[in-house]
Amino acid sequence: MIDQVESLLKKAEEQKDELIELAKTLISFKTPAPPARNTDSIQTWIAQFLLERGFSIDKWDVYPGDPNVVGVLKGTNSAAYQSLIINGHVDVAEVKEGEDWVHDPFCPSEKNGFLIGRGASDMKGGMACVLFALKLIREAGVELPGDLILQSVIGEEVGEAGTLECCKKGYHADFAVVADTSDMHIQGQGGVITGWIEMKSSQTFHDGTRRNMIHAGGGTFGASAIEKMAKIISGLGELERHWAIMKSYPGFTPGTNTINPAVIEGGRHAAFIADECRLWITVHFYPNETHEEVAAEIEDYINRLSDSDIWLRENRPVFKWGGSSMIEERGEIFPALEVDPAHPGVLALTASHEEIKREPLVIDVSQTVTDGGWLYNAGIPSVIYGPGDLYNAHAVNEEVSIKQLVDYTKIMLTFIMRWCSRKKEQ
């Protein structure tokens, strides 16, 4: 196998121009989300690419115009050897009119050793590397003993969790690599959940009655839902500060677990006392927590606060958590992901990285979230490991180092060969 790997690495270097052209092809597909519903063309292209290289293809619509593609290359001895999922998303961050791009963001260019275009860093560069590595393996006639599964998913940018749909379909492996933006660090991640806190008065009042409900002797039991939501927001701030003091996780700056009051909606008209109000919050939590736990903790805290308020005791806040789409449902969930540094998959990936880069691999935590949490949540040991950095992800004139793309391709070639040729643990 050593000779096979050396031969593949040589080809990766010799054919790096082909790798860059492959990345440019992926970038040229316009797949921003929002608006989404625009990935069928790129997914059809990827499905054909994999089909021509011996993969069986499963392609299905998650939303109309946004299909997932899963390619499976069965191993020669699947029962005895390790299996691998490589996961990546084909949607990219939105491009707003008037952004100061040097070139059309979907007409990729090269400058000073960097590839520039929307998705170069997040994460079509990573997807191109993986596809190119698979191409080289298949062209060399390598027969892997273990199964290799490529998941090309939609919706990551807007919480639509194409990866979750893969999990629901039963795709599983002994290890998974999410080839998303990590600057070639192995990373875990905290999680994110959005939620709505809603309150509605049991009665509606004319604005002319406000004096009766706020001054002595008024005799009217009522309140503005907007003003009461301000009390809820203040309480969320208290809980957030408590978390910053009492909770921590290695690799995260204290206080990274936040509760952001992102959007508030309320009232119906200037001639009414506001009889309803809705608050949209975004909650970041640590890798050793679940979204169910943090949601329950927030509900408990706000319910206790409501117990101390005469009006809120009678007009209880209602909580609605998560959702499967920021576009369709105005809600999302990204589960957390913890990395086990001693897992054989992590050790094998570390060895591959250090052989190619000739420098120690960094294992840390992402400051953002990816679909990796869904794989981890499904019981698959997983890591985030990809080219590109967060400073370029979503940025105007997004770019990625071409050398990093070549290095990442070589590392993944080495790792795929090593991992899928390793016998399962007894």
Active site residue ranges: 91, 156
Count of beta carbons in the 10 Å neighbourhood of residue 360: 9
- Give the C-alpha separation, 99 to 64, whole Å: 28
Q: Which two tokens stand for residue 22?
A: 């492959």
Q: Which phi and psi angles does 147 have, rounded to 5°?
A: -70, 145
- Give the C-alpha separation, 134 to 130, whole Å: 6
Residue corresponding to tokens 């999990």:
167
Q: Could you tell me if 277 and 199 are in contact, meaning their C-beta atoms sit under 8 angstroms apart?
A: yes
- Give the C-alpha separation, 369 to 222, whole Å: 42
Q: Could you tell me if 134 and 29 are in contact, meaning their C-beta atoms sit under 8 angstroms apart?
A: no
Distance of CA 325 to the CA centre of its chain: 12
Give the end-to-end CA distance of the chain in Å, rounded to a whole number: 23
Q: How many CA atoms lie within 13 A of 57 on its CB side?
A: 18
What kind and span of H or E run contains 264?
strand 259-266
Count of beta carbons in the 10 Å neighbourhood of residue 98: 6
**Amino acid (1-letter code) at residue 291:** H
